[in-house]
Structures are given as structure tokens and as C-alpha cells.
Chain A
Amino acid sequence: MKFIKWLTLSLLVVLIAGVAVSQQKNQKRKGRAVLSVPKVAKKDLICFALYTVHDNTLKLTAQLYPLPAGDSRTVGLEIKKEEEWVEVARATVIERGWTAPFRVEQWNDSQSYEYRVVHEAGSTYTGTIRKNPVDKGEIVMAAFTGNSIHPAHGGDISREDIIANVKRIDADVLFFAGDQVYDHFKHYAGWLKFGRDFGEIIKDRPTLCLPDDHDAGQPNLWGESGKVSTLGGASDGGYSRPGDYVKEVERAQTSHFPDPVDPHKIGQGIGVWFTNLNWGNVDFAILEDRKFKTGPAGRVPKQGPRPDHIRNPDYDPASVDVDGAVLLGERQLKFLDQWSQDWEKADMKVALSATIFCGGAHIHGGANGRLHADMDSNGWPQSGRDRALSALRKGFAFHCAGDQHLATIFHHGLRSHRDAIWSFCVPSIANLYLRWWEPLKPGANREPGSPIYTGDHLDGFDNKVTNYAAANPEKKPAGNILNTRSAGFGVVRMNTKKREITMECWPRNVDISDPGARQYQGWPRTISQLDNYDPPSWGKLGKLTFDVENPVVQLVDETSGEILYTVRVNGKTFSPGAPKGRAFTVKAGRDQASAVILEEAEVGGSARDIRVK
């Protein structure tokens, strides 16, 4: 028996050790990339840098490779003035994540500056802080999501096409909506790779990266104000990875954002970064649509094989809109309320978040996995979705997001179809997980000649949505591994002169400056800024002619005292839209709607000349 005993023990040890060593050594498998932190020369210790300029404050975060022991932990930021490098700030490197955050106040944003980040070991990294493009007339935003690096779906294909195209359009701002890093354990290594891939365009323009679920190290994220999640899939709400890991992720991706408007920390000491960036007279609200959101597990009646999935098409949508379920949370709604009224140096407003405010897909996964509704989307909780859209439409905000792995254009509805904002969900850089917008019934009120999946629909939560485009992947992707899976990127052109927004959706590996290059079906589409709050049932109050250019106008419901909307008028004339049968107080001013210019205004009113000087 002793022989059997020792034989068993030895075999077990040899088996486990052998396979373990083999697997540890041979991590590279077909279809998956292996992340590591490369060793670099001392001159290359600074990997890349991200920055924003807002309200005359420059915030720049330098991302470093690990500094050798004994090397200085201080990094300098210099700008070139009259051919001389002048140090404007110093920062101490935060070793956990190796970031160096700089802050320069009283920044002159009326001109461009070359900058360089300098480390005394001999490493420098150079770029350009752009001048604020207030006189440009069209602000161009390149928008991305889903940066998978795995070869199985083309993640290993070079991003050079994206770099070249961003340079061709000379984007004023870059927006990465989430999932910049898919590895749930090695964000730092993934982030360095992201920097190596995109640093060349990031270094020269303001860049906003919103850490989403995979960046935070989990498959889905309902942050629930920093709770600890213990359920596989994390649908119980909270963060799966430790708070320090999440903080490191957020430091790397967001510490260069304008200061948060309400910086109180949440659970586990995790910070917040929701804020706004005013650039080129476009006011971007940067939203955290994951951080405060309630996890569905145990809160809503089970309707499918996962706590967050609804498979039963006959369920009662109202049953999942449970009391206490949060989407943006009170703090962000308060911010949005103030933001929508503030038009100082702003001609247009754009909201940026990880995902869109509806269930934006029907088929999920590798094939025909029909899901009635997905609570990972911002279609749930419906009350929270309605509050968010109500707040955003008060500022005529256009919405751009990602996450879905499926590019779409939706016009959202609250009480009726098309009475709220428009959203553009951009396609993934490389598409890890396929989704299709494929309603079972043709949409109502479709545009002539448009596909049957467009038009007015109810999503799986009974939210009113009107689809205008969906870049559905092929049913059985084959061949071009990127574009058959509908990979690509978005471009949003915000014309501050015409007050128009143009959405473009480009496949990968095309030259978008080539007149022959084709976008995904349904793009481009141009809408007016005012389309973001123009319910079909509304009428006009009567033409107002002002004595100043571009005043700010606000309508207040005389019965409820609630602000209907605030907007900066384009030019001197404005015919305010409003619901019929209600009376409004109209306020106006040069930069703030501070003076009452009209009372008891109703639809069908007469034209007026208004003095606001």
C-alpha cells in the first residue's frame, strides 16, 4: 500500500507541477494576446501623456514605465516659449500605476504650445497643447470604444489606420468611451499598450477616456457607489476588483480630466470624475453612468438565465423599474441640471458616457442569442433613464457613447417617440462580442427606403426609441475579420456656426479622406442642435428678435416653475418651441438667461423684438 500511496502522491505532484509550469510558460494561445510590461531603455521611460484644458487650467498626466530603483520619482513638465524650454510644473510619480499628474493654472489657451515631459534619467516625451479652437467653427471629435487586442477578432491588427485617419481629419478632441483595456488583472500593462498604440494622436489633443467595466476588471459594472461585489458577473452591484485597483485604473485614465464638480468619494475610497470640458465652445458633460448604478441581482424579479438578462418577452417591463434603483444618481442629476443651464462660452452641448440610454441590441453573443432586454444598458432602470434624458434634453445635449459593440443612431423618446435627445453609439475598435439590432417587428414611421429595423420601436424595457442606423455585423463573420464584425470608429462634427451635428461611422482600414470611402449603412447623418428637444407635438411661441448675437434663452413653465430648457440662440432670431396649451416665462441674457423678457408666452404667440443689452 505504501507503494500505491507514494505513487499516487508522486503522480499528482508531477501532473500538477508539470501542467502548471507548462501553462505558465506557454501562455500564448491562438486567439488570445498576452500582456506584459516591456523593459525599456531609460530614454523611453515615459510612455505617453494625456491632457485636457478647461477654464484656463491645463491638466496633464504622464504615463511612465516602472522607474528603476534609485531613479528620481519626480518628473517635470516644460513648454516651449520663444524657442526655450520652460518648466511650468513638477509632479511626483505615483508608483502604483506609475502616473505623474500635472496641473497648471492660469493656462493661456489662446495659443498652442509644444510641451515635453522630462525625467532626469534622460527620458523625454513631447507633444502639443493645442489652442482652444473657439474660432474654428467646427469641432471634430473622433470617438472609439472596445479596444480588444486579441487576435481572434482582429485585435492584433495595427491601429495605424486609425492614427492616420485621426491625423487626416485633425480631430480636436478624442473620446474613448470605455474598454480601453480588456484584461481584468493587468490594467497597467494594457494601458501601456493602449498608450503605445494611440499615444501618437493622444499627445497632441485633449483626450477623454472613460473607464468602463472591463477597464475596472469585470465583465459588467453596476458600481452601486463603490460596494464590493461578490457575485460572478457582478450583477449584485459594486466592484469585483479591490478599491485600490479601481483607483489605479481611474488615476491612469481620468486624472487629467477637469476637476470633478462634486469630488466626494464613494465606497472603498474610490473617487469620482464626472465633470464637464468646455473646448471650442462645445460643452462636454463627462458622465459616470456606471459608478452609481444599482445592480439588478436580487432587486428585480428574475426574467432570464442571468440576473441582468430578460429573456421573457411577455414580462411586465414595469416590474423591473423598482423603487430605489439608481442610474446616474442624485449627484450627477444635480450636476446635469446646472450644466444644462450654463451656456457660458458654450454654443453646443454634448454628453459623453460609457453606454446609451436604451437597450440598443436584440441579438447578443456569437450568433442568434436573442435577449429581450439587458440591464447592463442604460435602458434600465427606466425611471433613471427618463430622469437622465429629461435632464439632458433641457440643454439640447447630443449624446455619444460606446460599449455596445454595435454602432447605432437613436432618437430617444420619453412620453412620445422622438421627444428627447439623439445618441450615437460608436463601433468597437476590434469587436470582441457581436450584437445585432434586429427587432422582430418593422419600425413605425420609417424614413422612405430605410431598412425595416429603423423607425419607432419600444426597447425591451418599453422605452421609446427611434432607430436611424445600425451597423449590424454579418451573421457569420468571415474574411475581413474587423469589418465583417462591424469594427470601426465614429467621427462627430459639431458645427458651432450652423449648430449642426454630423455623425460619421467608419469601418477600419479605409482612408476616410478618399471620396470613394464608404461609411456603414445609415451614416453620415446630420441633425440640428435643436433636434435634441423638439417633440413632434410642439408648436412655436412666436419669433423673437434680439438686439444681440447668440443670447441665452430659457423657458420656464409658469404653472410648475420647472425649466423647460435653456439654449444659446444661433444669431439674433429664435422661435422657441414649446408644448401647446401651457404658458411660459421666457428669460434671456448675453451669457445667462437672467432677465425675464416675456411672460405668459404660449404657442402661437406673436413675434417680438427683445432687448437684452
Chain B
Amino acid sequence: MKPLQADSLLVLLLRVGAFLCLAGWTWVHFYWEGPYGVLLWNDSSYALAERLGIDWEDFVGTGADDGLVQRWIGLTGWFYLAVTVLTMTVRQKSYIQMVGLLGGGLLLGVLAYAKFIGAQRQLPMLVEHGGQILAPVLLVLALRLGVRHSLTIIAAMIAMVTTFVGHGCYAMGLWPMPATFPAITTLIFGVEHETAAAMLWWAGILDFLVCAGIFFKVSRRSCALYAAIWGLLTAVARPVAGMSFSLNYWGADQFVHEAVLRAPHFVIPLYLFLVWRRSDQIETVAVDSDIGTGPDAPQKVGPRKMTGSPID
């Protein structure tokens, strides 16, 4: 594959990852409900609203009508929809759209924080969302700085590490494991709970190992490949375990988005796997398309060996 095509593919990959993640969460916001109740239905939120001159019924509604809380939650879905569209429309010089995408990362950060609070402040719940939060940010970095720029790659590594460390902490039982982990394993593999727990413990060990492994040149590609495969499997495991022909729409509306919004869990490692092809095979070509080799890159240069930007 030519370098131009390769870089286009990498950008497309990050674009698809961010799109799927945000589209999945958009579905959640419109079809189900964002997980913000835990942030808003509490006294401190009301105290803040009170300081802003908002009274109780305006804040929470009368019971018959929506209040600020319900309206705000409803509005959030439209922000998600807008940012989802931006993942497809943003180009290398679409600065305003990039700001929008960074806002998308912020929205995902708020969402992750809400889930963190909802999970009784279990740190892995916050950490494991790193991949999703950074998915739109990565797309912006790839477009602005280049898919092979060191900052883009570092951000991708952080995204991957946070996701897998978060999962690993749960899988190894360092925090109480979400019940869905062993339940899904039990159903898919038809094993007893003890076996499922043991499998997950080893998977947790591997989660940590691949996080460390991506920092070493000798192991980073294999680790990224493993992470991509494992990320894909854990994402699709949810619909595989939960869907059934006996359910309305086969249960697709309940489970498919669970896989879709986890797209960064496998897309980002796959991006790292592809970007870490042997550096001596990599050549860059200045382009004026959206593949994002960066605004400061020479506009017309011959093939050259990459020595600086990619992390090696």
C-alpha cells in the first residue's frame, strides 16, 4: 500500500472509531437516557442552581412537567448527534469543527465522570473510558498534526492504556468486578463462574502486559494487535451474549450500541498496530487532502525516512 493510502486508511480508521463511539452514545441519549441522573439529582447540584436563582420546581420539574434537569438531559443528545456528524465532515482545516470534536471529548468526559460517580467512585470506571473520551481528540490530532505525529501516537497510547488498565483492574478483581463480565463469559463459553473468573483474571493480566508492551519496540505491534482483537471481542461479546431471536428486534436495540460505542477499544489499538509498521518502510508524502500530515509539513518533498515524529 502506498504511504498516502496508508495514512488515509489510518485517518479513516480514527474517524470511524470516533464516529461509532459517538453514534453509540447518541443512540443511548435519544433512545435510552444519558447516565447523568446521579450528577443532577442531588443536593449539591440543586445548591448550585439555587445560587443561580433557580428554584426547586424549575430545577427538577413539578412532577407533571419537566424541569431544568430533564430538559438538559434531553438536550445533551443533540450535542452528541452534532459531534457524531462532525466526525464525518471534519477536514484538516475545519478548525471550528475540530473545536466541536474537542467538545465531544469533553462531553464524553462528563459522561465518564457520571458513570464513575454512579459506580460509587470506582476509579477503573473512570479510567476505562479514556479510550472513548480520547477518540474524537485523536481524530483532531491526526488531522491537525498528522496520523504519525508523536503527540497523536502518544494520545492513542494513553487511550489504549487507560481502557485496558481500567478493564484489567476489574478483571483481576482489584475492584469489584462488574457482574456483566463473568456473566457474559459464562454464557459465551458455557463455563462455570469459577472458570469464567479465572479466565477473566488471566485476561486482566494480559491487559496490563499489553499496556506495558506497547512501550517497547520489540513487542508493541503484537501487543497492539492483541489489544485490537481483544477489544473487538469484548465489545461484540455484549450483543453476542444478550441478543436472542425471542426478543423484539432480536434485542438489537438493547445490546448493539453496547458494542458500537466501544469501537475505540479496538480501533485505537488497530491504529497503533498499523502506524507502527517498521519505520524504515514508512515514507511520507506531503498532501493537501485530509490525511493530516500536519500544517508544517513540507508541501512537496521526496520520499524520506521518518525519524522524528513516530514514536519508536
CB within 8 Å of B: which residues of A?
Answer: 1, 4-6, 8-9, 12, 16, 19-20, 23-24, 29, 32, 184-185, 217-218, 228-232, 236, 240-244, 297-302, 305-307, 362-363, 365-370, 436, 438, 440, 475-476
Identify the closest chain B residue to A268 (Cβ).
Answer: B193
In the docked arrangement, what's the CA distance between A306 and B174, Å?
Answer: 30
Partner-binding segment picked from B2-10, B98-106, B153-161, B287-295: B153-161
Contact of B242 among A9, A184, A231 (CB under 8 A): A231
Identify the closest chain A residue to B31 (Cβ).
Answer: A302
Q: Which of A217, A231, A436 has its CB near the most chain B CB atoms (within 10 A)? A: A231
Partner-binding segment picked from B133-141, B177-185, B263-271: B177-185
Once the chains bind, are A305 and B179 in contact (CB under 8 Å)?
no
Contact of A230 among B56, B150, B242 (CB under 8 A): B242
Q: Which 6 A-B pairs have the closest CB atoms?
A: A298-B247, A305-B33, A366-B41, A240-B179, A242-B193, A367-B60
Once the chains bind, are A1 and B158 in contact (CB under 8 Å)?
no
Once the chains bind, are A297 and B187 in contact (CB under 8 Å)?
no
In the docked arrangement, what's the CA distance between A38 and B143, Å?
Answer: 57
Chain B 168-199 near chain A by CB (<8 Å), digits 1 or 0: 01000010100110111011000001000000
Contacts A1-B311, A367-B56 supplied; 6 other A-B pairs, CB < 8 Å: A228-B186, A236-B251, A236-B254, A298-B253, A302-B31, A366-B60
Once the chains bind, are A12 and B161 in contact (CB under 8 Å)?
yes
Identify the closest chain A residue to B184 (Cβ).
Answer: A230
Once the chains bind, are B150 and A4 in contact (CB under 8 Å)?
yes
A-B contact pairs, 27 of them (CB 8 A): A1-B308, A8-B158, A9-B212, A9-B215, A23-B122, A29-B121, A184-B179, A185-B176, A229-B183, A230-B241, A230-B242, A232-B180, A236-B251, A241-B179, A242-B186, A297-B254, A298-B248, A298-B253, A302-B253, A362-B63, A365-B41, A367-B41, A367-B56, A367-B60, A367-B61, A368-B67, A370-B61
Instruction: Count residues of chain B with CB under 8 A from any CB of chain A.
Output: 55
Once the chains bind, are B63 and A370 in contact (CB under 8 Å)?
yes
Q: Residue B64 at the A interface, CB < 8 A?
A: yes
By a CB distance below 8 angstroms, the chain A residues around B69 are 367
In the docked arrangement, what's the CA distance between A297 and B249, Å?
Answer: 11
Q: Residue B123 at the A interface, CB < 8 A?
A: yes
In the docked arrangement, what's the CA distance between A8 and B242, Å?
Answer: 38
Once the chains bind, are A230 and B169 in contact (CB under 8 Å)?
no
Once the chains bind, are B165 and A16 in contact (CB under 8 Å)?
yes
With A20-B174, A230-B180, A297-B254 already in contact, the answer to whether A369 and B242 are too (CB < 8 A) is no
Once the chains bind, are B33 and A306 in contact (CB under 8 Å)?
yes
With A19-B123, A236-B254, A368-B67 already in contact, the answer to whether A4 and B311 are too (CB < 8 A) is yes
Once the chains bind, are B150 and A1 in contact (CB under 8 Å)?
yes
Tell me the minimal C-beta distance from A298 to chain B in angstroms: 3
Once the chains bind, are A1 and B64 in contact (CB under 8 Å)?
no
Identify the closest chain B residue to A363 (Cβ).
Answer: B63
By a CB distance below 8 angstroms, the chain B residues around A243 are 193
CB within 8 Å of A: which residues of B?
Answer: 31-33, 37, 41-42, 56-57, 59-64, 67, 69, 120-123, 127, 150, 154, 157-158, 161, 165, 169, 174, 176, 179-180, 182-184, 186-187, 193, 212, 215, 238, 241-242, 244, 246-249, 251, 253-255, 308, 311-312
Once the chains bind, are B154 and A297 in contact (CB under 8 Å)?
no
By a CB distance below 8 angstroms, the chain A residues around B244 are 298
In the docked arrangement, what's the CA distance between A13 and B64, Å?
Answer: 50
Identify the closest chain B residue to A24 (Cβ).
Answer: B174
Tell me the minimal C-beta distance from B67 to chain A in angstroms: 7
In the docked arrangement, what's the CA distance between A306 and B32, Å?
Answer: 6
Identify the closest chain A residue to B308 (Cβ).
Answer: A1
With A20-B123, A230-B238, A368-B67 already in contact, the answer to whether A8 and B157 are too (CB < 8 A) is yes
Contact of A307 among B158, B174, B180, B254 (CB under 8 A): B254
In the docked arrangement, what's the CA distance between A250 and B69, Å?
Answer: 39
By a CB distance below 8 angstroms, the chain A residues around B57 are 368
By a CB distance below 8 angstroms, the chain A residues around B184 are 230
Identify the closest chain A residue to B154 (Cβ).
Answer: A8
In the docked arrangement, what's the CA distance between A236 and B253, Å?
Answer: 12
Identify the closest chain A residue to B217 (Cβ).
Answer: A5
In the docked arrangement, what's the CA distance between A286 and B242, Å?
Answer: 32
By a CB distance below 8 angstroms, the chain B residues around A438 are 63
Identify the closest chain B residue to A300 (Cβ).
Answer: B248
Identify the closest chain A residue to B29 (Cβ).
Answer: A305
Contact of B255 among A16, A231, A301, A436 (CB under 8 A): A231
